[in-house]
Amino acid sequence: MCLAVPALVKSVDGDEAEVELGGVTRRASIMLTPEAKVGDYVLLHAGYAINIVDQAEAEETLNMLREMARLAEDDTE
């Protein structure tokens, strides 16, 4: 199964961007989404931004992922 997660674009340098996800920043390719700009949320998969999503959708997805992680943690206790 593959998963793409929303990441916030912090800076753009050519075909790469610095993105933030959960407080962690990393470099990602924006070759597939050249219109991505600072402040956009992109769906990040295997180091590639594969789509741009609006902020509300990104935040909803991130909240669901946090809730899933919390529930998984509760199951291990």
Domain range summary for the chain, segments of one domain joined by +? 5-76
Task: Please state, in angstroms and rounded to a whole number, the distance separating the CA atoms of residues 4 and 17.
Answer: 16
Contact 55, 41 (CB under 8 A): yes
Q: Find the mean pLDDT for residues 44-60.
A: 96
* pLDDT tens by residue, 32-41: 999 999 999 9
* pLDDT tens by residue, 14-30: 999 999 998 999 999 99
Q: What is the pLDDT of residue 73?
A: 83
Q: Which residues contact 2 (CB under 8 A, 6 or more apart)?
A: 45, 46
Answer whether CATH 1.10.3720.10 is correct for domain 5-76: no
pTM of the model: 0.86
